[in-house]
Amino acid sequence: MKLYPAIDLLNKRCVRLYKGLYSQVTDYGDPVEMAMKWKSIGATFLHLVDLDGAKEGRSVNLDVVKDIIDKVGIDVELGGGIRTLDKIDEILSIGVKRVILGSAALKNPELVRKAIKKHGSERVVVGVDTKNFKVATNGWIESSDVDALDFAKSLEESGVKYIIFTDISKDGTLSGINVEQTKKLVDNTNINIIASGGVKTIDDLRDADSIGCEGIIIGKALYEGTIDLKKAIEEFK
């Protein structure tokens, strides 16, 4: 199982939100320095989210993302505000390994199909962010009536191979991942599921591994020191 340290970008800073609320922000400093720290410990792939972009519907922090790629030299995936094929092209051209489509994948399924046809399923990931197992959009501000499993199955038909599944009510809470909902996607699709939201201890990583997740995103647990990344990498490499 792969471990993906998370760096969330807001106003060009590395932050964490509580339950996706922009009103509850904790600042953890310079994103490039943080990326260097995670790489030095052994991380090989970072999960980046442009929080400004997610809210505004356009990429805002690409200069910071490019700095991380150029100065740190590590693979990254990026989500937040990516809405068009031209923007996907641009983001991949600066060295981002994988783009993460969120709201756009729900509102514009054809974009997913076109992006995969052009760039391949290894480079286009879909983030399925949910409240009560219903898909949320626009930086988690809006909720839909779309069932997460139904959405995942439609993505599978479009050629999607990777989904990042987040239970928003867990995100930033250090209360453990939603094992039941995550397992539902693992068991009922042939997609690689990356767990996200609520990770606190090494046991949460073991839970995700035991249900067959391809990977897991670790955010606040790293910043608050409840997970030792070095030990985690050693266990799951």
**Paired residues of 128 in beta bridges:** 165
Q: Rounded mean pLDDT of 168-180?
A: 87
Say whether 8 is catalytic: yes
How many CA atoms are closer than 13 Å to the CA of 132, on its beta-carbon side? 5
- Residue 140: pLDDT band with limits 50, 70, 90: low
pLDDT at site 79: 95
- 74-125 per-position pLDDT tens digit: 999 999 989 999 999 999 999 999 999 988 899 999 999 999 999 999 999 9
Percent of the chain with pLDDT over 70: 98
Residue 142 predicted with pLDDT over 80: no
- Residue 138: pLDDT band with limits 50, 70, 90: low
More confident residue, 22 or 70: 70
- Residue 21: pLDDT band with limits 50, 70, 90: confident
pLDDT at site 54: 86
Least confident of 36-45, 50-59, 61-70, 90-99: 50-59
Say whether 129 is catalytic: yes
Q: Top-level CATH class of 2-236?
A: alpha beta
Catalytic residue among 50, 129, 171, 204: 129
